[in-house]
Amino acid sequence: METFTANQAKTHFGEFIDRAQKAPVRVMRRDRVVGVMVSAEDYEAMRAFYADRLQHTLQRSADTAAAAGLTPEKLADLLADES
């Protein structure tokens, strides 16, 4: 992965964007990574991947809860209990 300092990214912004269209570009400030620039396509693909992963995790949790006998009514009772 290519690396630009924050100052390089600022002063060579056009080049920075062009390179990020081809591959992610790491941005460093004071010897630490402060960001990564990716193309819009890569960003949307990452969003879709993590949304799908979250949906599967939620479904597995719901399936596990249902298998353990947790119904919407029991959940409502648990959430209403302030003890």
Tell me the pLDDT band of 18, cut-offs 50, 70 and 90.
Answer: very high
Tell me the pLDDT band of 36, cut-offs 50, 70 and 90.
Answer: very high
Percent of the residues in the chain that have a pLDDT greater than 70, as a whole number: 99
Tell me the pLDDT band of 24, cut-offs 50, 70 and 90.
Answer: very high
Residues 52-81 have a mean pLDDT of: 92
Residues 6+ apart with CB under 8 A from 6: 27, 28, 29, 34
DSSP annotation of 37 reads E
